């Protein structure tokens, strides 16, 4: 019995020691992560005050909905070099502001959201396709709905789109990127949002250019056509 009691006490001491080591390691990890985040945010604030960097860079993301892995991948991507952003995507309802970069590879989508190859470019007619990670920048899409605004800002110009459709499709369904009746924007992310592993579906948010912006676009096209007509007339002289 004495040996049994000693063994139990020994095992209890070992267990408490291991628990103490684990708790200490977790606290150390959390403190280091918080210090790293504070350092990064301080650097970003300094750059904004100095007016440096691409004006189309987004704000420091709100990581509250992000997965731990996606937060790490985002911070790792800050050390990589990227071409200037094509535009800045803003969704006021979910307080999202993120740069739109060229392409949809892993590094691009860790840093921002990406323009899908073969779709219209920001500022052009057609259907602009933009992809983002469901556990990063685009997790907030679960909280948007028809009637919500999406803004696409370029240098000196901002176009506003209004969400008119949300669908869930198979990954092979590319029809959602086809040209629509009016200039449009399609946001693509994986679904379900909290699925563990490779998500089996895609969550699609479709939005159309507002009437006022559409009139401006048509007016600009009429001006361009008139200049082209004048140029052709001069060449014939």
Six-digit token string for 215: 């009139």
Six-digit token string for 37: 């985040």
For residues 34 and 63, is the Cβ–Cβ distance under 8 A? no
Per the annotation, the verdict on 81 as an active-site residue is: no
For residues 142 and 96, is the Cβ–Cβ distance under 8 A? no
Q: Give the list of residues 6+ apart from residue 82 with CB closer than 8 angstroms, or none.
A: 101, 108, 111
Exactly one of 28, 57, 95, 133 is catalytic; which is it?
133
Higher pLDDT, 182 or 30: 182
pLDDT given at position 72: 95
In tens, the pLDDT along 123-173 reads: 898 999 999 999 999 999 999 999 999 999 998 889 999 999 999 999 999
Residue the block writes with tokens 């009429």: 222
In tens, the pLDDT along 40-83 reads: 445 445 544 444 444 556 678 999 999 999 999 999 999 998 99
Per the annotation, the verdict on 233 as an active-site residue is: no
For residues 148 and 140, is the Cβ–Cβ distance under 8 A? no
Residue ranges with strand state E in 30-95: 87-91
How many other CB atoms are found less than 10 A from the CB of residue 135?
21
pLDDT-derived band at 211 (thresholds 50, 70, 90) equals confident
Handedness of CA 178, 159, 140, 85 (dihedral sign): positive
Six-digit token string for 69: 């892995």
Whole-structure pTM value: 0.70
Of 10-19, 101-110, 171-180, 221-230, least confident by mean pLDDT is 221-230
């Amino acid at each position: 019995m004495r040996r049994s009691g000693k063994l139990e006490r020994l095992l209890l001491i070992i267990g408490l020691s291991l628990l103490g080591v684990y708790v200490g390691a977790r606290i150390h990890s959390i403190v280091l992560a918080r210090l790293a985040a504070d350092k990064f945010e301080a650097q970003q604030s300094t750059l904004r005050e100095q007016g440096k960097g691409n004006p189309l860079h987004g704000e420091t993301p709100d990581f509250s909905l992000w997965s731990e892995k996606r937060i790490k991948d985002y911070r790792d991507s800050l050390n990589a070099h990227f071409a200037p952003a094509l535009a800045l995507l803003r969704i006021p309802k979910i307080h999202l502001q993120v740069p739109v970069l060229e392409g949809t590879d892993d590094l691009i989508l860790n840093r921002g959201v990406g323009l899908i190859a073969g779709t219209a470019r920001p500022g052009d007619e057609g259907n602009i396709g933009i992809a983002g990670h469901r556990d990063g920048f685009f997790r907030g899409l679960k909280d948007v709905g028809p009637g919500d605004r999406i803004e696409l800002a370029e240098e000196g110009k901002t176009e506003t789109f209004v969400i008119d459709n949300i669908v869930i499709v198979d990954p092979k369904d590319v029809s959602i990127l086809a040209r629509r009746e009016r200039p449009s924007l399609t946001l693509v992310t994986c679904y379900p949002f909290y699925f563990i592993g490779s998500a089996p579906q895609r969550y699609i948010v479709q939005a159309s250019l507002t009437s006022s912006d559409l009139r401006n676009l048509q007016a600009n096209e009429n001006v361009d056509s008139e200049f082209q007509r004048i140029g052709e007339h001069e060449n014939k002289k």
